[in-house]
Structure 1
Amino acid sequence: MADSGTLVNVLRAAGEATRLRLLALLRDGEHSVKDLTEILGQSQPRVSRHLKLLADAGLVSRNAEGAWAYYGLAEGGAGGDLARWLISRIDANDPDRARDQSRVEAVRTAQQAQAAAYFAKVAESWDQLRQLHVPEEAVEAAILDAVAGRMVDLMLDLGTGTGRMLELLSAHYRRGIGVDSSREMIAVARAKLAAASIGHAQVRLGDIADLGASVGRADLIVIHQVLHYFDDPGRTLAQARRALKPGGEMLIVDFAPHELEFLRSHHAHRRLGLGDQQMAGWARAAGLRVAELKTFPPSNGAGLTVCLWRLADDPDGS
């Protein structure tokens, strides 16, 4: 419950056309200020002012990442509850809402094209490039430890890249499927799996944020160094959750929060790492829980810390 003064402030903040459109957009997932200006067709200062009013009233949350900031609907409280109630009352055929959703798809398509161009350029040297930033041996040992003694029927490797996870975990699944949106990465992965004589794994061209039913439902899903390429990792995680069997697990490997802006400008990263509380919230929203977290600081003290999250099925939200 909230006092009348708080509710009045929340209502004032929400009661404006652009701010209501912003709330509806953020209900669909997190967005940066840059993306919101493109979607709404308004100036950055104007959009930022609206977002500040919404944040001050507790309707949205703000997460700063280097020079960028990402916004999402507040998880709870009077603001978050009211925002969801208001959005649920918007007519699905409302012209502004339909136009905004169309522009969201256009922005996401442009971002995917940018990432695809980058991956096409670096596909052949991807494994070597990744080792510049990641203590790969320690991380891979921890991944193997997480599945030690297990044999699953189906493993999905989402954003498979060069197929390294299919190769590493080949003794722990009866059938493995890797999905990636880069044709160049898929070609490299196929060649590597063939060279390693791994015949029980295959790779497919596809969008991991929109998996079709044909991939089946997996006992184990691996998402290795992928989520930082998405503006809204929580949305991608929720999509992947649909492909997980009851009682299944996910292994997520990604960077801890950092300030290395050049990874965004030169290497197509959208998020500068993922925080523990962010992951816990995304997992909870997807019907999962963080069962284990391991961190791997850089050996030279100047690189990036890598995190390994083990997410367990939690259908009751316990």
Structure 2
Amino acid sequence: MTERNTLSVDETLAALRAVGEATRIRLIALLAQNELTVKDATAILGQSQPRISRHLKLLAEADVIQRFPEGSWVYYRLSDGPEGALARDVVARISNEDAVLAADQERFQTIRKAKAEEAAAFFAGRALTWDRERSLHVLEADVEAAMRNALGDAPFQTFLDLGTGTGRLLEVFADQYVSALGVDASHDMLSVARANLSKAGLNNAQVRHGDVYALNVPPKSFDVVAIHQVLHFLDDPARALAEAARALRPGGRLLIVDFAPHELEFLRDRHAHRRLGFASEQMERWLDALDLDLEKTTDLVPGEADDSKLTVTLWLARDRRIITDVPAQNSSREVA
């Protein structure tokens, strides 16, 4: 299906009418850089919540912006369609020296800084727990390097990170994707991720509150889907894999990172693990049932022979729908 990237005359006029108002221009200028809530916009523009909500509603009705409910909050962002592109073009032609927009930006940066400090405080509160778990396996930098090696250097269009946490993978693969979405069930984690993405300047990556068992994304819409250290927290990993497979475009790739089978029972009580690792035979059965071919398996084994250390395994699978005339290749297994 070809994505819509042009507008009719009537659609263009509707988008211009929606944008053509002082408050809405200010909102568009802010949304061109980051997503906002009504509370954010109210604080920055100094207008009442009903007034801001009305302007956002008009912009949303014209498809200039999109709204993303997240619990009791709603986040707004410029749309990915031609209406959003038109709005970006309008903003790009406004002088950087405009006093009103400059003041809005200054207030926006103050709010961004406050959120970053709040997110950092949350992360620091969890750091001891997470550092304890990280110390049980190879360095995270080695895991990230293995993930990049598994996917290769070729660019791809769309990237979906399930259980995105702090949004780290959105940063790791930022030089390869055109657009990316991270999904997580934790509002606190999403606050951390948003702060990290803002700090890194990744305007082409978003994060959303969501359920890995019931993804609110179109089917067949992502070239690469990653599930990094998530499955061991789930009661039903196979169901999450099915949702991930549903989101893959034909020929798309699914990259799973998790622990190999282990016997560290304390991880159930202290770190909320539901599964003590996954055998590759089980993973391959799950993937095959979803019409995914396991192309590569990589084990990252701790350097020292210690039963208290965990092996991290990477599984790379490909949706088989696109390839029907090429003989299936035997999957390979690497040990690093």
Do Structure 1 and Structure 2 share a fold, with TM-score over 0.5?
yes
* 1:123–1:181 Cα change, 3 Å: farther
- Residue pair 1:153, 1:174 contacting (<8 A) in 2 also: yes
- Residue pair 1:123, 1:162 contacting (<8 A) in 2 also: no
The alignment partner of 1:304 has SS state of: coil
User: For residues 184-235 of structure 1, what are the alpha-carbon distances to aligned partners after superposition, in whole Å with 9 as ceiling and x for unaligned?
Assistant: 1100011111111111111000001100235871000010000111122111
**Following superposition of structure 1 onto structure 2, how do residues 67-86 of structure 1 map, counting pairs within 5 Å?**
none
TM-score (norm. length: structure 2): 0.56
> Structure 1 regions of 5+ residues with no counterpart?
1-119
Q: Find 1:180's aligned residue among 184, 187, 190.
A: 184
Provide the rounded CA distance (Å) in 1 between the counterparts of 2:180 and 2:126. 22
**Following superposition of structure 1 onto structure 2, how do residues 135-154 of structure 1 map, counting pairs within 5 Å?**
135=138, 136-154=140-158
Instruction: Say whether residues 1:230 and 2:234 are aligned partners.
Output: yes
Provide the rounded CA distance (Å) in 1 between the counterparts of 2:175 and 2:188. 26
- Residue pair 1:220, 1:249 contacting (<8 A) in 2 also: yes
**Which structure's relative contact order is higher, taking Cα pairs within 8 Å and 6+ residues apart?**
1
> Structure 2 regions of 5+ residues with no counterpart?
1-121, 329-336
Q: Match of 2:134?
A: 131
Q: Match of 1:59?
A: none
Provide the rounded CA distance (Å) in 1 between the counterparts of 2:287 and 2:215. 18
Q: Which moved more, 1:227-236 or 1:177-186?
A: 227-236
Percent of pairs identical after alignment?
45
- Residue pair 2:123, 2:192 contacting (<8 A) in 1 also: no
- Residue pair 1:127, 1:162 contacting (<8 A) in 2 also: no
Q: Name segments (4+ residues, structure 1) moved above 3 Å.
A: 120-124, 126-130, 213-216, 315-318
* 1:259–1:294 Cα change, 3 Å: same
Q: Match of 2:318?
A: 312
Q: Match of 1:114?
A: none
Q: Find 2:272's aligned residue among 268, 293, 303.
A: 268
Q: Match of 1:209?
A: 213
Q: Find 1:164's aligned residue among 163, 168, 185.
A: 168
- How far is 1:256 from its partner? 0.1
The alignment partner of 1:213 has SS state of: coil
The alignment partner of 1:242 has SS state of: helix
- Residue pair 2:255, 2:315 contacting (<8 A) in 1 also: yes
